[in-house]
Chain A
């Protein structure tokens, strides 16, 4: 779930108003104050600081800082590692989205065909959703651990020498699977709900006309669940961008040779480990823009959905 980003639930520009309201202005101000104060202190002030700090380079002793304008951004965009991190994030997000949506759709289609028992399977499939990304990371690390991992051992027996500590491609594969695993539950729930809402009469009509299962699926069902699929696509990309930190930190810590350093991980490693505040802040601002773009896409989608 994305509890932090979720503006798609607001029907933009359609805000209704109550006709009947209460009088007074002191009480509502007091009621809204806790949220406004917390947002100001823990949100607006830090966000402002990030933007401000992104324009400076602190001196090595941390005593003063020099104004550099967009210098940090120029440096970042010309930095080989930062550009590589963009590419890594793109590959990672696409793979996580595919690896979580395709199995989920497959399972949902099967579950949808069952009259009895789909509830039991649903209960079982929900489990991984409750497992924190960081814990999922530990579970998958355990299976593929180079010394004790069961899967890596059996791969060894088959003649494949698994080593995600040294091999960047294998490291990427492992963090992708570990990140996608919990999301399968989430996507399954949405796909299953969408499939259940496809009118049976439409499918039966096609069946009477002699369309077999896959024909019915691609011809009728899939177009009808496209809005759900598109919604999940956006949500999963957002998830891969911002909520997979725990997986990467537990399994690879961004390595080997930064091959799994996604943008959010780099903000952390440059800011807290590398203590490069100017660069880390500039990266935060760039991510801010990325979040903004994703939000716009979500809104566009909401509009479409309303007209659908």
Chain B
């Protein structure tokens, strides 16, 4: 790598300038998160009398335990749990139904196959944001308001994962299926013993992407969780702001914001390689 760069790489002052620019960029990008963290460790009076400090205070445990165990409308711990259920439900649900349907489409010829394929394909085109009113009515009709089913099901009706798995299955050598057939293995046996193990990396990469997709949902939970006990953390933060002229409880709200970003950040940073791969796969 070093040799490859050698010719065009600046040395000495140039390289320090480059690092300096990079660090500056990172600091600017990071500033909003840093400020939120500082605000979550100081007292309310320190914030409402601007300018607030730019270095963390000593109220970390007080603010975070207040947020987690009492919150404003509902303890943040409850909202975290709801978000976790929703994000994992969406990720796992999408992966399971997509693995099954992609397997059916790739490895079978059955009546209506093309029609089903097109049905699934069209769902790519219409985000929830566009069809909110009628989808809301359907979910309400099923009595699924304020339920995990209502949070999860409408969001797993999407085809991205199906197409990714289809693409991948098409690259699995035909010889494997041939051998399985000669051995008299049933299709589901082939699915479990060959297809699923081979898709492990794709499944993991997709899980990272879908977990974040589910965790970061805002509009849908806002519509269907009228009961604070069912709020997810991302939509619940906005509900913590007072409606009238009262001053918002900034330290608790900012502690909640930090808590809301920790799980997806951990997933992204710790599984960075998989995440980048998943991102590139799902967009290309």
Contact = CB atoms under 8 A, between A and B. Distances in A.
Contact of A1 (B120, B138, B279): B279
Interface in B129-184: 129-139, 153-154, 156-160, 162-164, 167, 169-170, 174, 177-178, 181
A38 B156 contact: yes
A127 B33 contact: yes
The 10 lowest CB-CB distance pairs between A and B, nearest first, are A132-B216, A46-B134, A49-B134, A246-B218, A28-B108, A130-B264, A28-B104, A31-B104, A25-B110, A153-B50
B32 interface: yes
B17 to A, nearest CB: 9
Interface of A: 1-10, 16, 18-22, 24-25, 27-29, 31-32, 34-36, 38-47, 49-50, 53, 103, 106-107, 110-111, 113-115, 117, 121-136, 138-140, 142-143, 147-150, 153-154, 181, 184-186, 189-190, 193, 200, 203-204, 207-208, 213, 216, 231, 235, 242-243, 245-246, 249-250, 264, 267-268, 271-272, 277, 280-281, 284, 287-288, 291-292, 295
Contact of B50 (A29, A127, A150, A292): A150
Nearest to B111: A25
B13 interface: no
A162 to B, nearest CB: 12
Given A103-B25, A132-B234, A249-B219, 4 more contacts: A113-B10, A153-B50, A246-B218, A271-B133
Q: How large is the interface on B (under 10, 10 to 19, 20 to 34, 35 or more residues)?
A: 35 or more
Contacts of B80: none
A111 B22 contact: yes
B116 A32 contact: yes
Contact of A147 (B48, B131, B154): B48
5 contacts: A50-B130, A129-B212, A242-B129, A250-B237, A288-B125
Given A139-B36, A148-B50, A35 B97 contact: yes
A39 B120 contact: yes
Given A123-B269, A148-B47, A204-B8, A50 B138 contact: no
Contact of B119 (A39, A122, A181): A39
Given A7-B124, A32-B101, A268-B219, A22 B282 contact: no
Contacts of B7: 204, 207-208
A126 B235 CA distance: 22
